[in-house]
């Protein structure tokens, strides 16, 4: 059984989640799926339902985008595999929690927000390593397109890019998904 931490990135609808789920299928029955999405509208509720239908019914689910490491510690259960899907949704939720929906934060607030995101990333990585034989982290690659035309978009892209770099540096292997094709890059 493969062990360690795998990082999967790629564009929207590139097949990241399906590939990550397929990696977990032969890991045993003790699989934990950490879902970071919030059902804030009808389209997102439908998307969450599709993801749930795709997963085996015996997988455990933790719906969380903050305190993931602490949640795993509180559960106190080891898993054959833990899948965190998706970091960029997690970052969006944290940005909204920290007031970014009300306006663009001042530079001092930006530093505080990014520090909070990185703390959550570090906690999640540590939790996956401690409580799972195999950890898989899924995140969108948001830096390969045009520069966003608004400050909040650029803030999100910058924080997500740095978070992805942090995850990649902690991972044992990584895949870039392009049109459903996994390309291993380390």
Ordered by start, the domain boundaries in the chain are 4-184
The pLDDT value given to residue 1: 47
Cα distance between residue 32 and residue 21, in whole Å:
11
Tell me: domain 4-184, CATH 3.40.50.300, correct? yes
Looking at the predicted structure, is the pLDDT value of residue 34 above 50?
yes
Tell me the catalytic residues.
51
Task: Kindly report the pTM of this predicted structure.
Answer: 0.94
Looking at the predicted structure, is the pLDDT value of residue 80 above 80?
yes
67: left (phi over 0), alpha (psi -120 to 50) or beta: left
Looking at the predicted structure, is the pLDDT value of residue 29 above 90?
no
Looking at the predicted structure, is the pLDDT value of residue 152 above 60?
yes
Beta-carbon contacts of residue 72 (< 8 Å; ≥ 6 apart): 32, 62, 82, 127, 128, 130, 131
pLDDT in tens, 97-140: 999 988 888 888 999 999 999 999 999 999 999 999 999 999 99
Looking at the predicted structure, is the pLDDT value of residue 11 above 60?
yes
Residue 99 sits at φ, ψ, to 5 deg, of 95, 5
């Amino acid at each position: 059984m493969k062990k360690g931490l795998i990082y999967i990135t790629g564009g929207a609808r590139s097949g990241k989640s399906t590939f990550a789920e397929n990696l977990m299928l032969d890991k045993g029955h003790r699989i934990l799926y950490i879902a970071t999405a919030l059902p804030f509208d009808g389209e997102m509720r439908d998307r969450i339902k599709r993801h749930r239908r795709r997963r085996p019914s015996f997988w455990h689910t933790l719906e969380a985008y903050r305190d993931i490491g602490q949640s795993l510690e509180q559960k106190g259960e080891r898993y054959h595999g833990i899948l965190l899907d998706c970091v960029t949704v997690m970052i969006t939720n944290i940005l909204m929690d920290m007031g970014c929906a009300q306006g663009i934060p001042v530079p001092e607030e930006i530093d505080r927000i990014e520090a909070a995101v990185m703390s959550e990333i570090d906690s999640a990585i540590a939790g996956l390593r401690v409580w799972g034989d195999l950890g898989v982290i899924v995140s969108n690659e948001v830096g390969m397109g045009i520069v966003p035309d608004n400050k909040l978009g650029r803030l999100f892209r910058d924080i997500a890019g740095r978070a992805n770099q942090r995850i990649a540096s902690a991972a044992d292997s990584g895949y870039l998904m392009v049109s459903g094709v996994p390309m291993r890059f380390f």
